[in-house]
Structure 1
């Protein structure tokens, strides 16, 4: 089995390699290709990847290359984890929206739109090259904004599934609080990527006992602290929102916090510098503890599980993924990309039935879906007016004067990545 990781020079990659090594019975990878244009990073990450596999007794071969066509040739699955513009672009995404009093964040709001505009054309080019190399290959997208990128891939007819680590992180949190194995916890997880709610936590499978009321009653303070939301809000909602909902439920508070401290991008850039120094140590043969602070927790487990299921292996039959709505949420278009539990197999992902959704969540989902549709249109066709329309539609922007100013700022900071600007 050959797997290719586009963006293989990322400091995330050793987390992924560790998962491939530990979970080789689930996903027996013979050849792992790491492709990245940054040759210096790729050499460091590739060296550590080989040492991790060797230490854990995995006999798979690690290949590093900057040649995308060679990397995807014959690949059974291609994982996308690229960042167009690198951490420098992320730094800008997180700062210029603050000039208008709007959240600066790389996956949502104006910053998220900028990332989508930079990313979608690049991903679609990669996907076409994957299709030419092997039309049966699966594309697993971990590249943000996952919902918009996955929607672009599916609309273009690619065999693609979007993946995020939010659900698996909450599954692990709930399992620890309940004192059970993570595999025993099934989430009633509903929404869009980075806009989700846990409306049920079931033991034993999709039809199991819902213990969410007990979790909120016994561990509400701990959950509220993890999400940085007030405990009374969780009690009133009766659900556990993704921590990304804090950008909506506490928008002005978050803006004040972001203005008062260095950006997350600056923190990550320093972390990456230290990680790459560690990766260059020939004695290091395991992922360093610092990597846990980089983000992407449990990404490897989720990626292995998804790839194994898609490739006919031993992956879990039910997984939380990003895929077409297909009537699952009747208030959204069929071609909206939603993030819900799905039956996953060699034919792809089919969403499981979802109970009626509270209008409190359904309304926000519908609003953000409309924004994502406009954002994808802007990414595919370009144009200042399309960017403005997307920003006007986003619940975190909305006001005309803000949208006008943010459009100008977005274009000014991203011209080198936008061929039409």
Structure 2
């Protein structure tokens, strides 16, 4: 089995490599190709990747290259984890929206739109080259904003599934609080990428008993602290929102915080410098502890599980993924990309039935889905007016004066990445 990682020079990659090494019985990779235009980073990450495989007794071959076409040739699955513009673009995404009093964040709001506009054309070009190399290959998208990028891939007819680590992170957190194995915890996880709620926590399987009330009663303070949301809010919701909902539920509070502390992009950039120095050490043959602070916790387990299920291996039959709605949530278009539990196999991901969604969540989901539709239109066809429409539709922007100013800022900061600007 050949797998290719586009963006293989990312400091995330050793997390993925560690998963491939530990879980080789689930996903028997014989050849793993890391492709990245940044040759210096790729050499460091590739060297550590080979040492991790050797330490854990994995006899698979790891190849590094900057040649995308060679990398995807004959690949059974291609994982996308690229960042167009690098951390410098992320720093901008997290900064200029604050000038208008709006959240600066790389996956949602104005910054998330900027990332989508930079990313979608690049991903679609990569996907077309994958299709030419092997039309049966699966594309697993971990590139943010996952919902918009996956929707672009599916609309273009690619064999694609989106992946996020929020659900698996909450599953592991809840399992620890409840004192059970992670495999015994099944989430009623519903929403869009980075806009999700856990409406039930079931033990033993998708039809198991819901222990969410017990979880909140016994551990609500710990859950609320992790989310940085008030415990009474969780009690009133009777659900656990993802931590990205804080941008909506505490918008002004978050903006105030972001204006008074270093950006997450700056923190990550410094972390990456430290990690790359560590990766250069020929004695290092395991992922360093610092990598856990970089983000992407449990990404490797989720990616291995998904790839194995898609390729007919030992992956779990039910996983939380990003895939087409297809009537699952009747208040959204069929081609909207939703993040829900799905049955995953060789034919892709089929969403499992979802209980009626509270209007409190459904309304916000419908609003953000409309924004995502407009954002994808702007990414595919360009134009200042399309950018303005997407910003005006986003619930974190919503006012025409802000949308006008943010449009100007977005174009000014991303001109080199926008063919139409």
Output the TM-score relative to the length of structure 1. 1.00
Q: Separation in 2 of the partners of 1:243 and 1:407?
A: 27
The residue aligned with 1:103 is 103
SS at match of 1:75: coil
Question: Residues 38-84 of structure 1, C-alpha deviation per residue, up to 9 Å, x if partnerless?
Answer: 00000000000000000000000000000000000000000000000
Q: How does 1:253-402 map to 2 (within 5 A)?
A: 253-402=253-402
Q: Separation in 1 of the partners of 2:25 and 2:182?
A: 18
Question: Residues 122-179 of structure 1, C-alpha deviation per residue, up to 9 Å, x if partnerless?
Answer: 0000000000000000000000000000000000000000000000000000000011
Q: Separation in 2 of the partners of 1:65 and 1:2?
A: 14
SS at match of 1:398: coil
Cα shift at 1:37: 0.1
Cα shift at 1:9: 0.0
Q: Separation in 1 of the partners of 2:259 and 2:273?
A: 24
Question: Residues 174-217 of structure 1, C-alpha deviation per residue, up to 9 Å, x if partnerless?
Answer: 00001110000000000000000000000011100000000000
Runs of 4+ in 1 over 2 A off after TM superposition: none
Question: Residues 338-389 of structure 1, C-alpha deviation per residue, up to 9 Å, x if partnerless?
Answer: 0000000000000000000000000000000000000000000000000000
Cα shift at 1:251: 0.1
SS at match of 1:196: strand
Q: Separation in 2 of the partners of 1:52 and 1:132?
A: 32
Cα shift at 1:285: 0.1
Cα shift at 1:233: 0.2
Q: Separation in 2 of the partners of 1:324 and 1:200?
A: 22
Q: CA RMSD in A?
A: 0.2
Cα shift at 1:416: 0.3
Cα shift at 1:286: 0.1
Q: Separation in 1 of the partners of 2:109 and 2:141?
A: 20
SS at match of 2:9: coil
SS at match of 1:122: helix
Q: Separation in 2 of the partners of 1:223 and 1:174?
A: 9
Output the TM-score relative to the length of structure 2. 1.00
Question: Residues 310-346 of structure 1, C-alpha deviation per residue, up to 9 Å, x if partnerless?
Answer: 0000000000000000000000000000000000000
Q: Separation in 1 of the partners of 2:35 and 2:309?
A: 23
Q: Separation in 2 of the partners of 1:184 and 1:156?
A: 37
Unpaired segments ≥5 residues, structure 1: none
Cα shift at 1:398: 0.3
SS at match of 1:340: strand
Q: Separation in 1 of the partners of 2:274 and 2:52?
A: 19
Question: Residues 286-329 of structure 1, C-alpha deviation per residue, up to 9 Å, x if partnerless?
Answer: 00000000000000000000000000000000000000000000
The residue aligned with 2:25 is 25
Q: Separation in 2 of the partners of 1:52 and 1:214?
A: 40
Cα shift at 1:266: 0.3
The residue aligned with 1:128 is 128
Cα shift at 1:90: 0.1
SS at match of 1:289: coil
Cα shift at 1:104: 0.1
Q: Separation in 1 of the partners of 2:312 and 2:272?
A: 35
Cα shift at 1:403: 0.2
